[in-house]
Amino acid sequence: MIFSLFSKRSDSQSITYINSSIQIAVSRGILIGFSAAGFLAVLSGLIDLTDSGTDTAVFLIFGTLITLICSYLTRYVSEKKLARSEIFLSVFSGFLFCILCSSFLYLLLVEGENFADVFFESAAAFTTTSLTTLDFTNSGRGVIFYRTSSQLLGSFAALVTAVLVVPISDDNFGLRMPGRAATQDVFPDRKNAVKSITVIYLASLTLLTLILLITELDFFHSLLLAMSAISTGGFSRNTNYFENSSVQLLLSLGMIITGTSVVIIWRLASRKVGFMLRSSEFHIYLSLILGATFLIFFWADEGTASSLGKSLFFAISSISTTGFHISPFESWPIAAAFFILLLVTIGPMSLSNGAGFQVHRLRILFALLRREMIRQLHPRAVVKIRAAGENVREERVRQVVVFQFLFTSTIFITAMVLTISGMDLYDAFSSAVAAITTAGPIRNPDGLVIAVSSFSSGERLALVPAMVAGRLYLLPVFISLGYLLSESRNFLRPRRRILQAIRSNK
């Protein structure tokens, strides 16, 4: 849409300055990232007009300029088709530059903040991590809308990436539904997939906003809360809303939907209820929510209907990796703190808005475990890994194992950096988990939320790589980094560089 602002270049204009694959990938990422942030700024500027309008000019000028410049510059980037690793690099750099561009906008809008803080805020928004450092108490509608809608854009981009770009093997990870219906293509092509996801997003957002109007919330705040719930961002300027039982219940409903696979929701919208009822991943997801609610309710030891509602809200907020800032129960055992960490680590269904490990991967790991047990007894047996009654390809199993390895390593490295800066072990560990699952908030053993603004700038910045990696499902980020590393190694080797130049001239 943005790129169509300028007419297609003619043959005389077909000179492109960016031709190498790596440059094309990064450039496309930069342009998409910047224009997305610019587009959001224009929208926020218009929203700001409904309030005092003090930030409207900044939003509109910044947004329009960025969008126009990016649209113009696209003509200098070659239209060459990119390989999979280059697309990963493009997505990764797009995310990073969107965050960067957004940081500059915050610098213009929020007074007295340094770059590290605004960069963290921007990263938390686009990665849908429920952590915040800036003080939005006196901010206008435009700024609040920008902060909240950044989450929506971030989660939408991540989901589209998961559906269209990440599919590494063709089973169970991309256009096909994990589980019993894996043989059926749900979205026939990529264009339709994006269209369907957009429809799901808009419909669920509208529905939740309208339902929230039943409570005492006005339209704007209902919209903001709905955006935070649908995107699993969990940001809210006023945390008092969450103490209201009806708001809790409605948001719980929204979060259940957001943690459900888009494929199931699409089928449900197409009136194919049986599809949802047959999905074993969905059954596990619901069982986890129910089990967690029961356990939290049991630990809360209050026995009231409101505490049951709050337990449900806690459980869904954690498992969907939304992370709304809700106060803990008075009775909060140590096990509850660990259990919440466990829930956010498990995460929701695959192909949902949430991050974390996700239920389908966990099932594959359990199936792998079962196979190893059988192989111990029958070393020569050929045992297939089965999940939801279907064989899972070995390549996919290996990727899940590597995902587990990278997931654990990222938590360890992040916690290591945090402890070096002086944080204690528990806080470092829970911060690392909150960052990689893009859940937040960080809680102490008593369940109280630790304000991330109490961290040093270095500690906050240490969380950003885990947040970005977690939001983009790890593998694309690690593959991009590996690609960049190998390309820079090649670049530094003059002999190879000369040979490549000769080859390209031929």
Partner 1 sequence: MAGIALLFVAAGVAVSTLVSLFNQRVDSVSLLLATVIVGFAGLLLFTSTKLGKTDQASIFTAVGTTWLIVSLFGTIPYLLAGTFSRTGIGIPEVFVDSLFESVSGFTASGSTVFGAHNPIEMQGSGILFYRQLTQWMGGMGIVILVVSVLPSLRASGLGLIDAEAPGAGVERIAPRVVETAKKFWYVYLSLTVFIALALFLFGMGPFDAVSHALTTASTGGFSTKDSSLGHWNSIKIEMVVMLGFLLAAINFTLHARSIEKKRFNYASDSEFKSFMGLIAVGVLIITLLLNLEGFSFGTALRNASFNVVTLATSGGYGNALGRGESGDFASWPGSTQLLLLFFIVIGGCTGSTSGGVKIMRFRIGIAHAYRILRSIRRPSALIRARMGNKTIPDSLVERVAGFVVIYGILVVSGTFILTVLGTDLVTSLSGSFSALGNMGPGLGEIGPTSSFVDGFSAPGRVVLLFFMLIGRLEIFPMLLMFVIPYRTSVNAIKSKK
Residues that bind partner 1 in the complex, under the rule CB under 8 A:
84-85, 168, 333-335, 337-339, 342, 365-366, 368-369, 371-373, 375-379, 397-399, 401-402, 404-406, 408, 412, 415-416, 419-420, 422-426, 428-429, 445, 475, 478-479, 482-483
User: Residue 330 Cβ, how far from partner 1 at the closest point, in Å?
Assistant: 17
Residue 78 half-sphere exposure toward CB, CA atoms < 13 A: 13
Hey, how many other C-beta atoms are within 10 angstroms of the C-beta on 475? 16
Instruction: Return the number of the residue (290 or 485) whose C-beta is nearest partner 1.
Output: 485
Instruction: Return the number of the residue (39 or 357) whose C-beta is nearest partner 1.
Output: 357
Instruction: Return the number of the residue (239 or 287) whose C-beta is nearest partner 1.
Output: 287
User: Residue 230 Cβ, how far from partner 1 at the closest point, in Å?
Assistant: 30
Say whether the peptide bond before residue 476 is cis (omega within 30 degrees of 0): no
**Contact criterion met (CB below 8 Å) for 464 and 121:** no
Tell me the angle at which helices 334-346 and 305-319 cross, rounded to the nearest 10 degrees.
50
Instruction: Return the number of the residue (185 or 372) whose C-beta is nearest partner 1.
Output: 372
User: Residue 446 Cβ, how far from partner 1 at the closest point, in Å?
Assistant: 11
User: Residue 402 Cβ, how far from partner 1 at the closest point, in Å?
Assistant: 4
Helices and strands in the chain: count of H runs, count of E runs: 19, 4
Which H or E run contains 449? Answer: strand 449-450
* Dist. CA 400–CA 475, nearest whole Å: 10
Tokens of 174: 């991309």
Which H or E run contains 391? Answer: strand 390-391
Instruction: Return the number of the residue (205 or 368) whose C-beta is nearest partner 1.
Output: 368
User: Residue 372 Cβ, how far from partner 1 at the closest point, in Å?
Assistant: 3
**Contact criterion met (CB below 8 Å) for 497 and 488:** no
User: Residue 134 Cβ, how far from partner 1 at the closest point, in Å?
Assistant: 28
User: Residue 13 Cβ, how far from partner 1 at the closest point, in Å?
Assistant: 33
User: Residue 418 Cβ, how far from partner 1 at the closest point, in Å?
Assistant: 8
Instruction: Return the number of the residue (249 or 413) whose C-beta is nearest partner 1.
Output: 413
**Contact criterion met (CB below 8 Å) for 298 and 308:** no
* Dist. CA 39–CA 37, nearest whole Å: 6
User: Residue 219 Cβ, how far from partner 1 at the closest point, in Å?
Assistant: 42
Handedness of CA 452, 458, 463, 465 (dihedral sign): positive
C-alpha to C-alpha distances, 366 to 281, 396, 420, 474, 495, nearest whole angstrom: 13, 14, 35, 21, 48
* Dist. CA 415–CA 423, nearest whole Å: 9
Instruction: Return the number of the residue (269 or 369) whose C-beta is nearest partner 1.
Output: 369
Residue recorded with tokens 């192989």: 375
Instruction: Return the number of the residue (369 or 451) whose C-beta is nearest partner 1.
Output: 369
**Contact criterion met (CB below 8 Å) for 102 and 117:** no
Instruction: Return the number of the residue (230 or 289) whose C-beta is nearest partner 1.
Output: 289
